[in-house]
A = this chain, B = another copy of it.
Amino acid sequence: MRPVCLVIGAGAGIGGNVGRRFAREGLHAVLCRRTDQEGLDRLVGAIEDGGGSASGHLLNAIDGGTLESRVEAVEVEVGPIEVAVYNLGAQIGNRTLGDTSLKAFEMGWRLATFGLFRLAKSVCPRMAERGHGTLLVTSATAAMRGNPGQHSHAAAMGGRRLLCQTLNAEYGPKGVHVAHIVVDGAVDAPDTLGKMLGPDRYRELRETRGDGLLRPDKIADTFWHVAQQHRSAWTHELDLRPYTDSPWWNG
């Protein structure tokens, strides 16, 4: 059985590109996303056209048991999960405290924090038993500081960051590499940025900004590098941003 790269949150941006990159290196990519069977099929097809191996599943990470049973099924039916990528965000745009409902706040936590905890509970012990494995967590600026209007997002991502540190503290010495990758800028992704802006403004922004948008295939190169690091020299946290952008600490 082929080692697996399981991607939770595999759209046409970071998740899909990471899956494709790892498939190119010989892993079987299991791509999971909440909706859009057609888009999912396209991703799987593109990987297979490139000579890689992949499969796809629609899955609502918020529903109890979904992540857990997917991990179980993959391990039994496909192969050992060598790399798990948690790529679900919880950005809902800027909202005042008054406009952030209890439900939205809880949803942010369920997606960004609790889902990762559930995935970790499922995959980390399996990896530890094998003595190796990698858990890559896509993160955002909101994990580093709470900006105006980010009540839900910052609370969820700030919790996620420290959860990654605790996971690393327990599982690092067992051979499981946990990495928290702070994507500190706008990603050139049709499924998120593209849908937010609409086709015309998206095209225009891509033309204007060029390499000033994070290219998801280039992000995937760094995900791959981190997953390949020798265990004598692992990275737990790193940032990624376009050369044109100010880092979050510079405002």
- Tell me the A residues contacting B by CB distance below 8 Å: 96-98, 100, 102, 105-106, 109, 113-114, 117-118, 120-121, 124-125, 142-151, 154-173, 175, 177, 188, 211-215, 218-219, 221-222, 225, 229-251
Contacting residue for A171 out of B97, B168, B175, CB 8 A: B97
Is the Cβ of A237 less than 8 Å from the Cβ of B234? no
Chain B residues whose CB sits within 8 angstroms of the CB of A242 once the complex forms:
231-234
Is the Cβ of B148 less than 8 Å from the Cβ of A169? yes
Indicate the member of A156, A172, A219 with the most B CB atoms within 10 Å: A172
Indicate the member of A215, A241, A244, A249 with the most B CB atoms within 10 Å: A249
Looking at the assembled complex, report how far the CB atom of A113 sits from the nearest CB atom of chain B, in whole angstroms.
Answer: 6
Chain B residues whose CB sits within 8 angstroms of the CB of A247 once the complex forms:
165, 168-169, 236
Is the Cβ of A211 less than 8 Å from the Cβ of B230? yes
Asked if A162 meets B146 with Cβ closer than 8 Å, knowing A97-B121, A238-B238, A243-B231, the reply is yes
| In the A-B complex, the 6 residue pairs with the closest CB atoms | A251-B251, A146-B165, A158-B162, A159-B159, A146-B166, A238-B238
Looking at the assembled complex, report how far the CB atom of A237 sits from the nearest CB atom of chain B, in whole angstroms.
Answer: 6
Is the Cβ of A145 less than 8 Å from the Cβ of B173? no
Asked if A145 meets B214 with Cβ closer than 8 Å, knowing A109-B159, A242-B233, the reply is no
Nearest chain B residue, comparing its CB with the CB of A184 = B236
